[in-house]
Amino acid sequence: MIESSMLSKYDVSDETFMVDIFDDESNEPIAFEGKEPFQIEIVHVTNPQYKKDVSFLLSKNQAKKRGKKKDEAIDLEEAEEFNAKLAAKLTRGWKNLYDSKGDPIPFAFETAVELYQKFQFIQNQVSEAAQDRANFTKSA
């Protein structure tokens, strides 16, 4: 049985990882004045709930496309929103994200979608980290 095999230690599907978010130009950690750096808690792409969520999003997306012609171009805004939703489904929370007044911004799925749509470099960091199994092993 695979579940009890020697490979079971490589199963990271239920682990989470805190991604340090960096400025894509300076490569410096993003932090509000005098605060700790911004971090996003994510799951690995093999997480069972994430897989269910992706399946649901794909089904909704396919239903939207049924009314369109085959040669009709993909709407860029719809594609960006879909990708932002995928990244938001990987996200379990965050630390040290503040508004312009210095008040913490609480985590919510809708807020994460907005964040990833507005700041694609953050979405890219989250998506890349979620695919790297090494981030989720106990030694990470």
3 domain-assigned: no
The order of strands in the sheet holding 16-20 is: 16-20, 39-43, 91-95
Residue 109 domain flag: yes
Q: Does 96 reside within a domain?
A: yes
Q: In this structure, is residue 94 part of a structural domain?
A: yes
Domain count, the chain: 1
In a domain, 29, yes or no: yes
| The predicted structure's pLDDT at residue 133 | 85
Is residue 1 in a domain? no
Structural domain contains residue 90: yes
Residue 28 lies inside a defined structural domain of this protein? yes
Model pTM?
0.83
Per residue in 113-136, pLDDT tens? 999 999 999 999 999 999 998 888
- Residue 86: give the domain boundaries: 13-65+82-136
What's 39's DSSP letter? E
